């Protein structure tokens, strides 16, 4: 798969996997809330204030999770993620009924693990989300090991496994929709490409040219259009045959591409008619490019010698693209009238 496709696929996957991971972000405080509510039932009124404090913390964590969600996974997410992790860890430490004297190395290690893993739970990657979904409840289990509360850790693990399975299924579903997405992209690319020369076709031109015009108008940078037409191509077809004509069209488009920059748009919009859209070039500079192409085409080493005529114009402020292309076409006709194998500027 080409690199550009892979990047597009990754972007698509990231965009789609956000929802599941956001759910995970909210799940963790809710899990703790369930555990603490259970304490309220078991311990009764004697621990009311501690439990109220815990519930207030859960509320704060939910608000923090909401803020993280609202920040839209930008750079701010990282800052919120770190704050969230800190508050979360302090909340665990402050409200877990373990006296400082009983704190063991395991507890410290578990807390560190929780601190390290939470940002992963917030990350966009499904894989790290799954790790966090399983590892965080595992932290809870280890934390309470040897006490009845370990049951809650086990429950969390069970719940985390559910999350992980959900995420895996979602990933599989995403894989299928990504396939459809890529298929659609390839189809669209094929529809916009001229099968003979590999350049854009008329649909491809129409899909991209107007967008480029708007971008350049907004940026206030020059943009030029060049119309090309092979001279007396009919006689070449008649003399050497259609297949040789086809091969010549391919050679000409290769020569043109070699003279253009990567971001110039080249399209075959008719039988032996090409158009190029040249960003950041005014009419004079575009004429220079067209002249270079004219010379390169004339130099193609073939028995069926071919020349090309061109009409150049610059996009004027606020005018529709059609007006510009009409002007370039008129300049091309002038080049034909003046004897062909030449470039005219309008």
Ligand X SMILES: Nc1nc2c(ncn2[C@@H]2O[C@H](COP(=O)(O)OP(=O)(O)OP(=O)(O)O)[C@@H](O)[C@H]2O)c(=O)[nH]1
In the complex, minimum distance from the CB of residue 309 to ligand X, in angstroms, rounded to a whole number:
7
If one asks whether residue 319 binds ligand X (CB under 6 A), the answer comes out as no
If one asks whether residue 232 binds ligand X (CB under 6 A), the answer comes out as yes
Report the 10 Å Cβ neighbour count for 23. 15
Site residues (CB under 6 A) for ligand X, limited to 239-258: 242, 245-246, 249
Single out the residue of 132, 138, 143, 231 in contact with ligand X (rule: CB under 6 A).
231
Active site residue 291: no
In the complex, minimum distance from the CB of residue 205 to ligand X, in angstroms, rounded to a whole number:
16
User: How big is the site for ligand X, counted in residues (CB under 6 A)?
Assistant: 16
- The piece of 30-38, 112-120, 198-206, 231-239 that touches ligand X (CB under 6 A) is 231-239
5: closest CA among 209, 181, 205, 173? 181
Site residues (CB under 6 A) for ligand X, limited to 327-346: 336, 340
Tokens coding 234: 């009919």
The residue whose Cβ lies closest to ligand X is 271
Catalytic-labelled residue, pool 99, 189, 272, 322: 272
Question: Looking at beta carbons only, is 229 or 264 nearer to ligand X?
Answer: 229
- The piece of 12-20, 60-68, 97-105, 238-246 that touches ligand X (CB under 6 A) is 238-246
In the complex, minimum distance from the CB of residue 197 to ligand X, in angstroms, rounded to a whole number:
9
Question: Looking at beta carbons only, is 184 or 242 nearer to ligand X?
Answer: 242
In the complex, minimum distance from the CB of residue 338 to ligand X, in angstroms, rounded to a whole number:
12
If one asks whether residue 77 binds ligand X (CB under 6 A), the answer comes out as no
- The piece of 77-85, 123-131, 208-216, 228-236 that touches ligand X (CB under 6 A) is 228-236
Single out the residue of 13, 77, 95, 237 in contact with ligand X (rule: CB under 6 A).
237
Single out the residue of 229, 264, 341, 344 in contact with ligand X (rule: CB under 6 A).
229
Task: Report the 3 state secondary structure along the chain.
Answer: CCHHHHHHHHHHHHHHHHHHHHHHHHHHHHHHHHHHHHHHHHHHHHHHHHHHHHHHHHHHHHHHHHHHHHCCCCHHHHHHHHHHHHHHHHHHHHHCCCCHHHCCHHHHHHHHHHHHHHHHHHCCCHHHHHHHHHHHHHHHHHHCCCCCCHHHHHHHHHHHHHHHHHHHHHHHHHHHHHHHHHHHHHHHHHHCECCCCCCECHHHHHHHHHHHHHHHHHHCCCEEEEEEEECCHHHHHHHHCHHHHHHHHHHHHHHHHHHCCCCCEEEECCCCEEEEEEECCCHHHHHHHHHHHHHHHHCCCCCCCCCEEEEEEECCCCCCHHHHHHHHHHHHHHHHHCCCCCEEEC
Single out the residue of 114, 141, 230, 276 in contact with ligand X (rule: CB under 6 A).
230
Instruction: Give the active site residues.
Output: 272
Q: Which stretches of the chain bind ligand X, using CB under 6 A?
A: 196, 229-234, 237, 242, 245-246, 249, 271-272, 336, 340
């Amino acid at each position: 798969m080409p690199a550009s496709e892979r990047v597009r696929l990754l972007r698509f996957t990231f965009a789609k996997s956000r929802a599941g991971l956001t759910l995970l972000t909210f799940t963790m405080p809710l899990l703790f809330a369930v555990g603490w509510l259970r304490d309220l039932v078991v311990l009764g009124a004697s621990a009311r204030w501690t439990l109220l404090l815990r519930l207030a913390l859960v509320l704060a964590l939910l608000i923090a999770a909401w803020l993280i969600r609202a920040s839209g996974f930008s750079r701010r997410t990282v800052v919120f993620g770190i704050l969230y992790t800190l508050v979360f860890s302090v909340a665990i430490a402050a409200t877990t009924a373990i006296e400082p004297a009983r704190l063991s190395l395991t507890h410290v290690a578990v807390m560190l693990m929780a601190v390290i893993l939470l940002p992963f739970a917030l990350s966009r990657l499904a894989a790290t989300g799954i790790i966090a979904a399983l590892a965080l409840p595992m932290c809870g289990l280890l934390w309470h090991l040897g006490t009845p509360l370990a049951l809650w850790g086990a429950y969390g693990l069970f719940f985390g496994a559910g999350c992980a399975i959900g995420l895996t299924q979602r990933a599989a579903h995403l894989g299928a929709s990504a396939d459809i997405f890529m298929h659609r992209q390839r189809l669209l690319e094929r529809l916009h490409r001229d099968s003979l020369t590999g350049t854009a076709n008329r649909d491809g031109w129409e899909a991209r040219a107007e967008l480029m015009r708007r971008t350049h108008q907004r940026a206030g940078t020059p943009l030029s259009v060049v119309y090309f037409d092979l001279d007396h191509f009919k006689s070449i077809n008649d003399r050497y045959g259609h297949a040789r004509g086809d091969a010549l069209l391919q050679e000409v488009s290769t020569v043109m591409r070699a003279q253009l920059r990567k971001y110039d748009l080249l399209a075959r919009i008719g039988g032996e008619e090409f158009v190029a859209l040249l960003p950041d070039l005014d009419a004079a500079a575009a004429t220079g490019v067209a002249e270079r192409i004219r010379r390169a085409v004339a130099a193609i080493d073939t028995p069926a010698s071919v020349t090309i005529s061109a009409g150049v114009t610059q996009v004027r402020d606020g005018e529709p693209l059609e007006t510009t292309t009409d002007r370039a076409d008129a300049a091309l006709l002038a080049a034909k009238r003046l004897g062909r194998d030449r470039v005219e500027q309008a």
